[in-house]
Amino acid sequence: MNFVPRSGNTNNKIGIGNGRSKVITVVNEYLADYDTDSIFVKPDTAKDIQEFFRPLNPYSLPEEMFKIEKDDNDKSLDNVMFYGISAKRYCLYDKDNGNITIRKYSTHGLGHLLNINGEDVRKAILTGNFSQFNDKIAVSQITISKPSILNRFKRMNANKPFNKKIKPFNFMLIGPEKNDVIPCLPFDKDINGIQYKQFIDYKSDTTFSMKKA
């Protein structure tokens, strides 16, 4: 189990809790967020939690049941800032003279989007500046995993040689629903200008051709 200490004063009192995704409760204490295997607390509270659970160590070695989380550079994430929408949607960062450095972040809720950098998204949330996403297109990659999805491309596959046809378990691209239409089209690594390409409505099998304004 891992946790991230957060700076500040503490009132050391630890209790065991229950409920959905709730493993530990820190009473009368700063608790940023928690999940089934992690908790965000102050540094000195972190030491108390480690000591509290030390008797449960089943190993012959002096291992901590709760370890301090580390960033990608193997540096301990202690005394960092926390911003979280939920236990799985968060970022840990440093702030120095108004400059924000993201130390670690989750991509939960973002991983399905192509051409989107999770670190940039978290920093934009912190600064309130989303200008870099003005020209971004929300596109996801999914697998053609059943006949009903493959049939959507029957017209596109018509009169094409076998090696050019869209086949089962190929990837496809899909966009968000708008005006009761869900655009989908064959997979392409280059999604530049994708909003102007011919696509099929995932729900109705209707083909659309878009033109530049």
pLDDT category at 178 given cuts 50, 70, 90 is confident
pLDDT, residue 87, reads 67
pLDDT, residue 15, reads 39
The domain ranges of the chain are: 2-79, 140-208
Whole-prediction pTM: 0.64
* DSSP state at residue 16: E
Q: What is the pLDDT of residues 99-122, one digit of tens each?
A: 899 988 888 888 788 888 889 999
pLDDT category at 131 given cuts 50, 70, 90 is very high
Instruction: List the beta strands (DSSP E) in the chain.
Output: 2-5, 14-16, 24-26, 31-35, 38-41, 67-68, 81-86, 89-96, 99-105, 140-143, 171-174, 183-186, 199-201, 207-208
Rounded mean pLDDT of the chain? 77
pLDDT, residue 30, reads 61
Q: What is the pLDDT of residues 10-20, one digit of tens each?
A: 333 333 344 43
- Out of 8-22, 25-39, 109-123, 162-176, the most confident range is 162-176
Q: What is the pLDDT of residues 45-79, one digit of tens each?
A: 777 888 888 888 888 888 887 777 777 787 877 77
Average pLDDT value for residue range 76-85: 79
Strand pairing class (31-35; 38-41): antiparallel
